[in-house]
Chain A
Amino acid sequence: MHLIAIEDSIYVVERGAQDTPPAAHAAGAVIHKGVDPSLAEFFTGTTWAPHAGQFGVLPLLNATLMVSGIAILVALPLGLATAIYLSEYASPRARNTLKPILEILAGVPTVVYGYFALTFMTPLLRTIFGQNVVQIYNTASAGIVIGILILPLVSTISEDALNAVPRSLREAAYGLGATKLETAVRIVLPAAFSGIAAAAILAISRAVGETMVVALAAGAGPAFTFNPFQAAETMTGHIVRISGGDLSYDSLDYNSIFAIGLMLFVMTLALNIFSQYIVRRFREVYE
């Protein structure tokens, strides 16, 4: 980034190596830091404004974690309860009809979920909590819809894990006088723990990497906020917004999406490997 001119309180800088139009920056923008932020600055800064020389990834990370947190709060209880019902209570016939219906949710393109979040979930939240409380773009709506999106992932994998628990364990519990609920929650659930934990971690990984819902419903502009009813931009949402349209080669924007992309990749990869580790480490093997 090169400083071209200072006109009154506006700094005019050239972006990137190619001839992109110069961008104007308000006074107070720290531009002498250039495009070489330290790792410490990257991970601890609370402002993401590359053109102003501020490279703190925390606002993006915070929004990502918030959306994923809301999503998992929706998907995990619902998915687990659904899995317990399908595997322990439902008749084979009911399971064979209900499970595919839930799996349709997994086949719907994510951009359609984005449309759903913006045109259905946000108005619904605004009706419930008040127009002034909930902004048009907010992380709560995106999080809830991503929760619905990953619900079949949680329920299907958990149900497979519950199904894999041998019948003899249940019969032993019944023989000791346990009710159906007690058998399901105290015997079958702990026995299937590794599979369920793996499902939860995979679901988090999926929520972290989910893009179109947040791009449409969470808002544009990295904001450092903990209020789920306010707009904030996630890592994926930022990449999509920055790269939409013409992104010139080797510009600041072009390079910054690689930094965010790398971080996203490392996060989801770690989650996926952790999920596989849990399955291997905590799997209970029955005869």
Chain B
Amino acid sequence: MSDSNLLQRHRRGRVWLVVFQVALLVGIVALGALLFNILNGSFGYVAVEDTIPPQDLAVNGVPLEEQDKETLIQVLQAHISAGLFARYEFEKPFAERSAGEVYDLILERVIEPKFVAQWSLFETLTDGDAIRQTAAQEFPNARLEFRSWLNGHFLRAPQSSYPEIAGVRTAVLGSLWTIAIAVLFAFPVGVAAAVYLQEYAPDNLINRIIQTNITNLAGVPSIIYGILGLAIFVRALGHFTSGVAFGASDPSTANGRTILSAGLTLGMLVLPLIIINAQEAIKAVPSSLRQASFGLGATRLETVWHHVLPNAISGIMTGTILAISRAIGETAPLVVIGASTFIQVDPEGPFSNFTTLPIQIYQWTARPQSVFRNLAGGASLVLLGLLLTLNATAIILRNRYRRSL
């Protein structure tokens, strides 16, 4: 073999190493672009036109933001009709409303901000002067302000068709409700199934078929679960999932498109994941532990309950965390079972209609007006934050379990 050949081979090696590194870099850049894109939509300049500017609402020199609840109520009463004020009083007495809620009403009914233009974070940072000029020329009545689309009001306010005052509270509550039901259903069933398959089931044809099925179910597209949920929970079991069977809701208006149906559908979706992960965790418990327990005369149930499960619990928790993270982000199955209705009231129980955070993002993104894209960006930040918080909580919980053993 000549020297030049060797040099060539090494050169080729170096070239391909660069190619491999670039591939990895592309992946990381894609992640960066994803995060940048969300932040880009969530912050930036907006041009706002108010019907009554907030500074005109100051009382005795106290600006609106710092006024106490009584003053806020007086400001509201002074600017809206008596009929409207009475209606708000009827919906929820002002004595029970917090200062924040009254402030939101003033925002909605008195200040009435209108977004006439909005710019992305990137444009705001790189092209600030040009934006200020354009805004001054084209929207002389508007004020230009830097807006974080993710703010306290956004988290507190319900959904609205006005982007200026829309928020995600109903969607966040809907997400938490559905996840809670999904976990309450899937966790016990999943762990029980895993215990049966791992500790009790004989190795025969039927159990092998069940095992293969569970593995395959984990790979089924989530939208198929949506169709399944539509047929089973919304239609076939609609009498129960709508709450009519329990006398919990009005039979004339109730349908099966409820939080309960959504939770059970998500539960079905994550059940295979929980079973497989729990099985792995149980498999990892050394069999010497079981032998010792049997040797001391323990029954199978006692062995499982006192030795296998406590040792497998951290692994089972990890699997459940993975499953929850998957369920929080799921959109398609919930759209199919009918969550896409426009809802402004908080869900009150398992038989309420609902919307969830991913569905809210989907709806806002799908709207043609670009201002809703900013709302979708803010809601995406909330969703990622929720995901991160729940994951972190679960990991901390898991570590605590592990230490106590």
Complex alpha-carbon distance, A118 and B34, angstroms: 12
> In the complex, what distance in Å separates the CA atom of A237 from the CA atom of B359?
15
Q: Is the CB of B331 within 8 A of A110?
A: yes
Q: Is the CB of B336 within 8 A of A239?
A: yes
Q: A212 to B16, Cβ gap below 8 A?
A: no
Contact with A along B233-255 (1 / 0, CB 8 A): 00100000000000000000000
B221 touches A112 (CB 8 A): no
For A115, the chain B residues whose CB sits under 8 A away are: 37-38, 41, 361, 365, 373, 376-377, 380
Verify if A179 is at the interface (C-beta below 8 Å from B): yes
User: B30, A110: Cβ atoms under 8 Å?
Assistant: no
A89: shortest Cβ distance to chain B, in Å? 6
Given A112-B38, A215-B332, A243-B230; A236-B27 close (CB under 8 Å): no
With A81-B23, A209-B222, A257-B227 given, is the CB distance from A243 to B34 under 8 Å?
A: no
Contact of B10 among A86, A179, A185, A258 (CB under 8 A): A179
Bound CA span A180–B30, Å: 28
Interface residues of A toward B: which range?
35 or more
Residue A105 contacts which of B27, B222, B366 (CB distance < 8 angstroms)? B27
Q: Using Cβ atoms and an 8 Å threshold, which residues of chain A touch B340?
A: 244-245
Question: In the complex, are the beta carbons of B336 and A181 less than 8 A apart?
Answer: no
A23 CB–B CB distance under 8 Å? no
The interface bits of chain B over 194-222 (1 if a CB of A lies within 8 angstroms of the residue's CB, else 0) are 00000000000000000000011001111
What range describes how many residues of B lie at the interface? 35 or more
Min C-beta distance of B129 to chain A, whole Å: 23
Is the beta-carbon distance between A119 and B41 smaller than 8 angstroms?
yes
**Interface with B: A27-35, A55-63, A166-174, A262-270, which one?**
A262-270
The 10 A-B pairs of least Cβ separation, nearest first, read A209-B221, A109-B329, A81-B23, A85-B20, A211-B332, A181-B13, A272-B219, A120-B37, A261-B227, A111-B358
Interface residues of A (CB under 8 A from B): 77-78, 81-82, 84-86, 89, 98, 101-102, 104-105, 107-116, 118-120, 148, 151-152, 155, 179-182, 185, 202, 205-206, 208-212, 215-216, 236, 239-240, 243-247, 249, 257-258, 261, 264-265, 268-269, 272-273, 276
30 A-B pairs, CB-CB below 8 angstroms? A86-B24, A105-B27, A105-B31, A109-B330, A109-B383, A110-B329, A110-B332, A111-B358, A111-B365, A115-B365, A115-B380, A116-B34, A119-B41, A155-B27, A181-B16, A181-B17, A202-B219, A209-B221, A209-B224, A216-B362, A236-B223, A239-B226, A245-B340, A249-B235, A264-B221, A264-B223, A265-B220, A268-B220, A268-B224, A269-B219
